Structure 1
């Protein structure tokens, strides 16, 4: 099994990369997060954003598995499937989807808990997407939630009603504006009935049987390394483990069966929401980079914060994930700059660090900069390695030397075909 993950704060272009390389796989398996993720892919010149569905959904030969570690909002799932069926004129795509029976369901009250926590002065403002992801994982850990396989239980409707009623009353007592309780309940059960159209199974058995039969499996991560609940820039992180090892837990696959680990990084950095961002830039240059790079949330449309490439954080992400191959995206967005800044280290308390955990860098840390010559070329003309400008080749060589791993793929634009393979 191979794994593909983001190495920064998300939005690195993972969806496009998976969409392109997935043609070589038999199974694409999503292993974390929920409908808070947004992978944008250009298919037949249409920009399509996938939230819950794995990025192999466009290929008829691929099984698309949503693993146990993912949390599934039935209403969001139904909407995404129906919208994609209409966009692709492909009613059969539901037969390419498998749901883990052990994946947890996002109940409709969880979104309102998200809203309450974000808007109440008594709690931290994290900058969540308010999709109910954190409350779902919280109730999973408390063992107070329902799972996908429970929809076939005779007690399912009564158990859901009990949970919703309790939470609804608690939210009302806290002053949270709520829709009608019966509406939430009915809409949720109707969406759960839609889930019954999808194959629901012990997906860990399906994946392991496929691997034993020499089938190729690609595990797809959502969000990115620096948003990992344990190793990211806590508390401004997502609510799941985003690193490569989480794929083994979520999908039920032994670490012995892992082969390639692809890590995706932009040629610069972005992040959405609150939290430390040491290489962040502001002002007109940030606005220009944001507009040129289309740096607005795939899911929320929020403008992303932008900054220069952070090598200490990138080294940390590569270490955590055991990355074997790098994928570099959005170098085309930096085209036209005379110099390209890279943060190579931090000075923290008179100590220079070239490898740092996100939580060890604070406002007093001073970035150490290296400036490489920029490149200026129409990237639409690049379709093979020989056409890559020498300045960009030097940029890539510098990354490979610093990070000790090869850059395997170079993205040259947003379209799925705009990707070239690098190397000897």
Structure 2
């Protein structure tokens, strides 16, 4: 059983007497520091930024005009350093750095006595000029925008305002790194913003800043999975769906506290096996398998209420308790049975050019949403409004399809009961989600479908009717982009597709049949057999551009175990020319010639591997080829159907 463990590192950021790069300092404890203790005063003597850096007494006195100086000569009580004196302290720090640069003294640091500075050294003067210019730029141009341009800080410290004056940082300590070796203005300045801004009283009542550091360890057969806190982490499909997103969510679910669906409906489907029990999920979030996880069906989802309750009953019969653990946004649009009838009628009209929908009514429901005539969950609790909208929608479909039969009165009566049954699950999803972000919950968003089925970026019109990429996460849950931490892209080790549409690497011969049979490639929702072909890295690269994956989960690697050689699509050619990107024109896409790279197979079992080093050498080369081509690190590798059949790489 794979189980995640969280390591909470509490960092005391109150005291100015902490050198964050000293492995022996008190940064590693939550114990408050007594500023007047003898130990603290010794630290002042040891740490260069708390000794006197002023070249003259007059400079020191000048800095005191805007606040107390930090040096022992000026303050004998161990008081906090002046927020406003650091530029003068900084100049002396650069001078000290210049001294050791000129002589190559890596063991020197500001405040330590060294050889007198020799002004006749050209190198020393050059370094002095460059550093002075850099410091001026940092202080004069960047200070008020540092946090707004440093994404990492914004994401981790969402409580901070968008703009902060960097003069609020501590003085020379911001410019010192481990072993007193300077490593560049940019890294120093960004570290200053990251490490010192929490000292500003921007988080009232918060005494300690919580940083979470999750690690990987599979030596004992367990995998500790990284799911950062303080924001939203996302799992998305990188191809045409059916990549195995549910399994990764299941593995991550051990430690997450909130799991959310952001788009789609019950047209999506995946299977999770827990302790030998198989659960089929369509509209419900997979977080229900974790008894400590609450789940949300977000605003971007279209919900068929009878299917919602049928799925709940099915998993509860298998032992999962959903009480107070599943909630539905009051802004969700409702899928009705007449939407499903319209879905089937539209497909019939298209004949041989049908898209190949699931007939779940998802497209027609999103169509009424886009036309502003749809019905949302909150309308169920304003019955006159609901009834008016419902009758209008049905009448419109009857006019469009002459033989459209639908019992309006019976359906209205049914939804009176469903409305009351659904009421305990309904929440205002935007404050619901943001409240949990403020509580620093471990949040995971489970994307449905995949990027190549996205309404805007997929192979339109052979797509679903929602935004299946990272944009759908933000709009479907009411989240600003800076709330997103990690984005895992799930990539099958080969490529599959359900329904019609272009598929450049599809194999209609022996390999396609082998992948279909060995990989058990038929849909969870429809039962239809999936089309199969080689891995298409043109698709994966395009998907990466749109979604910005921070890591990959390669799934079903074990399906390739018996192949002597494996092909990977790396480029498209049309009329003798290489295409620079994935084309929007489907007529062109149908005619492209795929450029393949052939890699040797490994012809060995991977299903029993649990460490990356245990994988066959050629399997490792296959993974590393994907990493090199896409520029995205592979973090997880699926080698079987079970939740334990996962190799953690990074």
Judge same fold: TM > 0.5, yes or no.
yes
1:107 aligned partner: 336
- Flag the 1:354–1:335 CA change in 2: closer, same or farther, 3 A: farther
Shift in Å, 1:170: 2.8
Contact 1:313–1:357 (8 Å) recurs in 2? no
Q: What's the counterpart of residue 271 of structure 1?
A: 497
Residue deviations 1:373-421 (CA, integer Å, cap 9, x gap): 1122223321222211100100011111100010000011111111121
Match of 1:192 in 2: 419
Aligned positions of 1:172-321 closer than 5 A: 173=402, 175-176=403-404, 178=405, 180-198=407-425, 200-321=426-547
- CA contact 2:262–2:297 (8 Å) conserved in 1: yes
C-alpha RMSD over aligned residues:
1.8
Q: Distance in 1 between matches of 2:626 and 2:547?
A: 17
Which moved further from structure 2: 8-17 or 253-262?
A: 253-262
2:392 match: 163
C-alpha separation between the residues in 2 aligned to 1:286 and 1:340? 12
Aligned partners of 2:373 and 2:389 also within 8 Å: no
What is the distance in 2 between the residues matched to 1:260 and 1:165?
Answer: 43
**1:53 aligns to what?**
284
- Check the 8 A contact 1:313/1:355 in 2, yes or no: no
Matched, 1:10 2:241: yes
Matched, 1:151 2:380: yes
CA contact 2:550–2:633 (8 Å) conserved in 1:
yes
User: Which of the numbers 378, 384, 389 marks the counterpart of 2:605?
Assistant: 378
User: Equivalent residue of 2:343, what SS?
Assistant: helix
For 1:84-95, what aligned pairs fall within 5 Å after superposition? 84-88=315-319, 90=320, 92-95=321-324
Going from structure 1 to structure 2, the CA distance change for 1:161 and 1:324 (only over 3 Å counts) comes to closer
Change (3 A) 1:358 1:306: farther
Runs of 5+ consecutive residues of structure 2 not aligned to the other structure: 1-231
Name 1:344's counterpart in structure 2: 570
Distance 1:314 1:94, change over 3 A: same
Residue range with higher mean Cα deviation, 298-307 or 163-172 = 163-172
Contact 1:117 1:123 in 2 (8 A): no
Match of 1:129 in 2: 358
Return the structure number with greater relative CO, CA threshold 8 A, min gap 6.
1
TM-score normalised by L of structure 1: 0.94
Deviations 1:170-210 (A, max 9, x none): 3651x34x454444444444333321242x11111121121
Specify the SS of the correspondent of 1:379: coil
Q: Secondary structure at the match of 2:290?
A: coil
Gap runs ≥5 in structure 1? none
SS of the equivalent of 2:435 reads helix
Give the whole-Å Cα distance in 2 for the aligned partners of 1:394 and 1:354: 26
**Corresponding residue for 2:348?**
119
Matched, 1:62 2:293: yes
Distance 2:400 2:413 in 1: 19
Q: 1:383 to 1:221 in 2, by over 3 A?
A: same
Distance in 1 between residues matched to 2:544 and 2:386, nearest whole Å: 45
Q: Which runs of 4+ in 1 moved over 6 A?
A: none
Cα distance in 2 for partners of 1:6, 1:99 equals 23
| Displacement after TM superposition at 1:67 (Å) | 0.4
Aligned to 2:38: none
CA distance in 2, matches of 1:290, 1:162: 45
Equivalence for 1:35: 266
CA distance in 2, matches of 1:357, 1:96: 43
Q: 1:358 to 1:265 in 2, by over 3 A?
A: farther
1:185 to 1:310, Cα distance in 2 relative to 1, 3 A:
same
The 3-state SS of whatever aligns with 2:286 is coil
Cα distance change on mapping 1:22 and 1:322 into 2, 3 Å: same
Shift in alpha-carbon separation, 1:357–1:326, aligned structure 2, 3 A: farther
| Aligned CA distance change for structure 1 residues 411 and 73 (closer, same or farther; 3 Å) | same
Write the distance in 2 (CA, Å) between the matches of 1:329 and 1:285.
18
Map of 2:47 onto structure 1 = none
Aligned residues: 418
Mean alpha-carbon deviation: is it higher for 261-270 or for 411-420? 411-420
The answer on 1:409 being equivalent to 2:636 is yes
The structure with the greater share of residues assigned to strand is 1
